[in-house]
Amino acid sequence: METFDVSHLAANRLDFVSALLACIALLLAASAFPLFLLLRDRAAKVAREAAKEELAAFMEDLEKTAVSRIEALLLGTMRDYMPPTKENAMSDDIANGIAGAQEAKSDADPRNPESPSTGAR
C-alpha cells in the first residue's frame, strides 16, 4: 500500500507556483521594455509641445517689451536731436542747389551711355 506523503505534494505544488511566478515575471519584464519606450516617446512629444508653446509666449512677450523700449528710446532720442537739427536747418534754395548738383553729377557719369559728356544721345 502506498502512503500519502504531504511533503512530496507540497514540494510539487511549490515547484508549480515557482514556475508560474517565473513565467509571470518574464512576461512583465518583456512587456516593460515596449511600455518604457512608449512612455518615453510620449513624454518627449509632450515636452516638445510644451516647449513650443512656452517659446511662442516668450517670443510674443519679448517682442512687446522690445517695441515698448524702442518707442520709449525713440521719443528721448528725437527730443535730444531735434534742437540741433532745427538750428542747422537749410533753406529750400540750398536744398535745391544740392539736388541740382547731384543730378548734374549723375548726368555726367561715364558709365551712363546717354550722358552728355559721351555725346551719344
- 3-class DSSP string for 26-95: HHHHHHHHHHHHHHHHHHHHHHHHHHHHHHHHHHHHHHHHHHHHHHHHHHHHHHHHHHHHHHCCCCHHHH
For residue 121, which of 111, 113, 105 has the smallest C-alpha distance? Answer: 113
pLDDT of residue 109: 59
Spatial distance between the Cα atoms of 25 and 32, rounded to a whole number of angstroms = 10
pLDDT of residue 96: 87
Q: What is the mean pLDDT of each run of 10 residues along the chain (121 residues)?
A: 65 83 93 92 97 96 94 84 69 83 73 54 42
Task: Quickly count: other Cβ atoms within 10 Å of residue 115's Cβ.
Answer: 15
pLDDT of residue 12: 74
